[in-house]
Structure formats: C-alpha cells, structure tokens
Amino acid sequence: MSRTKSVRDYIRTIVDFPHEGIMFRDVTTLFADPRGFRIAIDQMLHPYAGERIDKVVGLEARGFILGGAIAHQLSVGFVPIRKKGKLPGTTISQDYKLEYGEAIVEIHDDAIQPGEKVLLVDDLLATGGTAAAGIKLIERLGGEIVSCAFIIDLPELGGRNVLENMGMDVHALCE
C-alpha cells in the first residue's frame, strides 16, 4: 500500500549545484505540485492558528512565493526583503555574511509600522545569515517577530541556533 506523500517527498535534490559538492534542495518541484504547494502552506501556518499576525515578510526569492500565499491565506499584507538595489522606494539596509564574502538585503523603510506582529518566511534555513539580517531589518522598523517559518532546516549549518539565540521562535517542516 502506498503512503500519502509528505512535503519532503515533493522536494528534489540537485547534486553539485551551484558548486561541486553541494546537494541543492530544490523546492520548485514542491511549488509546482498543486497538492504539495497547498499542504506546505497549510503546514507552515498550522503553528500560528489563533495568533495575531499583521504582516508576512518574505526573503528573496523563494520566500516571496511562500510569503505571498501565506499572506493571502491570512488576509494580511506581504512585504518583500530584497537584495540590494532592487527596491524602488527609500530603504534601510543590512549586511550579512555569505560562504564567500558579504551581501546586503533591504526593506522599504515604511513597510512595517512599530508594534506590528510579523511572520518571517523563507524556503530554507542554512547558516541563518539571511534570516538574521531580515530579523534585524524588521526590528529596526519596530516590528515584533512572532516567528520565523521555513520549509527546510539544514541542521548541520546551525541556523536554528543563530535565530534562537536572537530570541526567535523557529519552525521548519523538515530537515
């Protein structure tokens, strides 16, 4: 008898992308499947039933796809955090470390009002550098982060500890 597919069953692994030795967890196959996408959104929202959430913030790029669907489901607004130079209005910036070198992410300075309850969303938690930069941006605008939600946590890279040490609640659907 075949068992019902879970979220992890829809995720494809691409070997040696973007570099040799990397096993890239590709969520496009999850997004492309109507049942897979729906159960992923439903399961990401499950821990927050009954909680106040005023805004969903998504991290570029796959956090936009998840964050848009989650914001629609909650009937709240969606706010993007983008790589430097992409947002047209006045922004605040935050740098963070990559495997090699540094990067900068930005948010519109009027996108979150002080005291708003924010859910931060992305596809994957690795070192936590990207999410940590996003948390700093949201907090600099006075947003209060309810939780950080991911599809995948790569535990060997330590991102969960980084975020929990910043006082964050962290949820991921699979490791």
Residue 130 contact among ligand PRP, ligand HPA, none, beta carbon within 5 to 8 Å by kind: ligand PRP
Annotated active-site residue in 62, 82, 106, 116: 62
CB atoms within 10 A of CB 25: 18
Q: What does 86-152 look like in DSSP terms, one character per residue?
A: ---S-EEEEEEE-SSSEEEEEEETTSS-TT-EEEEEEEEESSSHHHHHHHHHHHHTT-EEEEEEEEE
Q: By CB under 6 A, tell whether 58 contacts ligand PRP.
A: no
Q: By CB under 6 A, tell whether 122 contacts ligand PRP.
A: yes
Residue with smaller CB distance to ligand PRP, 105 or 146:
105
Residues forming contacts to ligand HPA in the complex (CB under 6 A) are: 24-25, 124, 126
Q: Residue 25 catalytic?
A: no
Exactly one of 31, 159, 160, 171 binds ligand PRP (CB under 6 A); that residue is: 159
The token pair at 62 is 């796959």
What span, in angstroms and rounded, lies between the C-alpha atoms of 19 and 16?
Answer: 5
The token pair at 84 is 């430097």
Residue with smaller CB distance to ligand HPA, 24 or 97:
24
Q: By CB under 6 A, tell whether 128 contacts ligand PRP.
A: yes
Q: Which amino acid is at 31?
A: F
Q: If you search the block for the tokens 């090699």, which residue do you land on?
A: 100
Residue 25 contact among ligand PRP, ligand HPA, none, beta carbon within 5 to 8 Å by kind: ligand HPA
Residue with smaller CB distance to ligand HPA, 25 or 160:
25
Distance of closest approach, residue 149 Cβ to ligand PRP, in angstroms: 13
Q: How distant, in Å, are the alpha carbons of 28, 73, 80 from that of 140?
A: 32, 27, 15
Residues found near ligand PRP in the complex (CB under 6 A):
59-62, 122-131, 159
Catalytic positions, written as ranges: 62, 99
